[in-house]
Structure 1
Amino acid sequence: MSAARGLVALAAVVVALVLQVTLFAHLSWAGVVPNLCLLVVVGAGLVRGAEFAMVLGLAAGVLLDLAPPADHVAGRWALALVVVGYLVGRVRSDVRPTATSVVATVGVASFVGTSVFAITGVLLGDPGLGVGQLLEVVVVALAWDVLLTPFVLPPVMLVFRRLEPHGVAA
């Protein structure tokens, strides 16, 4: 991966993170905001594959773990987004994805990513939500991410397609 491609990918994550912690923080539903960083990682996985998405997921997760108002043990989002990047990158096919398959992929990725984050919180004894409230958070996060998919994924996937050199499959 060239330095320019890496910078563009990192810029996409930073823009998503800033929007997530500023604008969408005011639009939270049951205290949950949409995970725009997760959507960027899904877009990277669908277009560029597992390796690229895992690296981007690690960077996005670390930034998300450290960005205010983070109140959890650092590393939880990093782990969750690396897992999401791996899974999405592995299920991508060489044919152009359909709208239905992209929305389904986002739904599964949101469920897996939010579940990994929540379960690691329980395992690490992070104060916050009880086990009973975790399912509600996972469902609300999934709904948010799926609702924003048509607005976020097309431009993100277009950016990642443009980063790919002509004639080279990622």
Structure 2
Amino acid sequence: MRFNRMLLSTTLVIVALVVQVSILARLHLPGAVPDLVLLTVLGLALVYGHVGGALIGFGAGLLADLAPPADHAAGRYALVLCLVGYLAGLVKPDNGQLRSATGPMAVVVAAAVGTTLLYAGVGALVGDTAARHVGLPSLLFTAALYDLLLAPFVVPAIMALARRADNDPLAESSSAKAADVSSGWLSSGTGLSIGSQRGGLRLKAARSRMARAGRIKGVKRL
């Protein structure tokens, strides 16, 4: 990953994690907690692709595993977000821009449900049965609902920041073509101006020669 991608992704993930732990987790909403870190990973994966999404998801999940108050084994959420980031990056738009909001909203709902199921499944493998006591259906419904409500405000902003910080090769090629066209126009315009200046100089030289020849003939006539 490029340095600007790493810097932007790290900053956005840390900000999202701080907001989620210090604000969203303390709202005591019924069911799940709005997952701002997940939405950040989704927004970055939709721009950077499946490889970048997997790396960002793993790093974000590992930070979430280590952030207090951590009540589960380290690496559990990192594995989940790594898989989710990879899968979300597979549906990355070709030009990095969204044509409609239907696709991203479906990705958010699928990611929210899939993250909850994967987290509960990995927890069941390591002996954590907290999801059974809370109620898995209510967790799935509230996780999808909260993330869907936050997604229109988070995902487009994350994608816009990622596109702006990233050097788009399509934009660079189009700007290079525009620069070539403009330079071609400039060179053609310069050639015309130089040609006109040369023509003017030739015309002035011919007129001066004719004037000199007339003067010489006049002198000979005298």
1:134-162 CA deviation, whole Å, 9 max, x = no partner?
22212211111111001111111111111
Distance 2:131 2:22 in 1: 22
Q: Which runs of 5+ in 1 are unaligned?
A: none
CA distance in 2, matches of 1:132, 1:5: 38
Which position in structure 2 is the counterpart of 1:116?
Answer: 118
In structure 2, the partner of 1:100 is 102
Structure-2 change in CA distance of 1:100 and 1:28 (3 Å): farther
Give 3-state SS (helix, strand or coil) of 2:169's partner: coil
Inter-partner Cα distance in structure 2 for 1:63 and 1:118: 19
Shift of 1:31: 4.7
Alignment partner, residue 75 of structure 2: 75
What residue number does 2:166 align with? 164
Partner-residue secondary structure (3-state), 1:70 = coil
Match of 2:152 in 1: 150
Residue in 2 that maps onto 1:8: 8
Q: Deviations over 1:119-145 (max 9, x none)?
A: 111111114231771222122111111
2:20 maps to: 20
Maintained 8 Å contact 1:25/1:33: yes
Alignment pair present for 1:89 and 2:113: no
Give the TM-score of the pair, scaled to structure 2: 0.71
Unpaired runs of 5+ residues, structure 2, are: 172-222
Matching residue of 1:33: 33
1:7-64 per-position Cα deviation (integer Å, ceiling 9, x unaligned):
1110000000000000101223225211111101100111110001110000000000
Aligned to 2:199: none
Which structure: larger Rg?
Answer: 2
What is the one-letter code of the residue matched to 2:108? V
Q: Is the 8 A contact 1:46 1:92 kept in 2?
A: yes
Q: CA separation in 2, counterparts of 1:32 and 1:110?
A: 10
Is 1:57 equivalent to 2:65 in the alignment?
Answer: no
Q: How many Å separate the matches in 1 of 2:18 and 2:126?
A: 27
Q: How many residues align?
A: 169
Deviates more, 1:41-50 or 1:127-136: 127-136
Q: TM-score, normalised by structure 1?
A: 0.92
Q: Does the CA-based 8 Å contact 2:17-2:37 persist in structure 1?
A: yes
Q: CA RMSD in A?
A: 1.7
Contact 2:4-2:166 at 8 Å conserved across structures = no
Q: Deviations over 1:57-85 (max 9, x none)?
A: 00000000111112111111101101111
Partner AA of 2:51 in structure 1: E
